Structure 1
Amino acid sequence: MPVSVALAQFVIAQAQRRASILEIPVAIALADPAAELIGCLRSDGASADLLDRAMHSVQSAARGHFTRSGCRHPLGHGIALLPAWRSEPSAPTSYQAILAVTAEDPHAADAIASGALCDVEAFAERHRHQLSDD
């Protein structure tokens, strides 16, 4: 399932929000399973080099995670997998995109990427509950 523009914007916005809370300049990139860049952002104060690194990281991670059977790209280092939306939490997880956050502080990049992913998953869970209440 391709990533919608709205979801891509939401993921990038959540990462940007977390970076602004920490007051850390970052570059953010999102790619699909085919390693095609979906979107990217460079926050105020982030160097152009950070953006280049984010785009390279997300595409390398997508190629390593999605295209080589049995070979997983090591996650961490500001890399997070975006799971596909599931109507049931027990349904098998598949991934629809990969997020990369780069910052001068790699620990901050990890925290921002994983935090943004948690925000997206919390939103999906609320949406799932709303659907089940209908």
Structure 2
Amino acid sequence: MKVQAISNSGGQLPLPTLDSRWGLTREKIFPLSIGKEYAVYAITAVKDVFWYYLLDERDLPHPVWYPSPLFRVSDGSLPAHWVVNYTANATTQDRVGSSLISFKEWANDPSFYERLVEGEASAVAAFRNERNISA
């Protein structure tokens, strides 16, 4: 799946997406290049909006999530090897868990993203493999 950035400004986000606790304000400028196409590595839904995990302009070794209203979908086909998973919130029953659409190593492992950000070897290798497929 690929998306093209149409905005990098919080001022373009729908009101329900904004949340100052997450740094999502009208003044927020995201490290995205308008017009650039980005590969999507995972999709989740939060606050009634899809969020795309992609590699931004900061050149981090892991993807970061961005609200979908900042993009237009340029190729909406999902890779055949992606799966859908739901993880219940383990801390309290009154909070919704999270759904994720991604490659199986990520979607089926609630700790995958944290391990990837921390640079754990098996998570890095799985993401590197997915990156090569998506390129």
Q: TM-score, normalised by structure 1?
A: 0.29
The structure with more strand, counted as a fraction of residues: 2
The structure with more helix, counted as a fraction of residues: 1
The structure, 1 or 2, with the larger RCO (C-alpha pairs under 8 Å, 6+ apart) is: 1
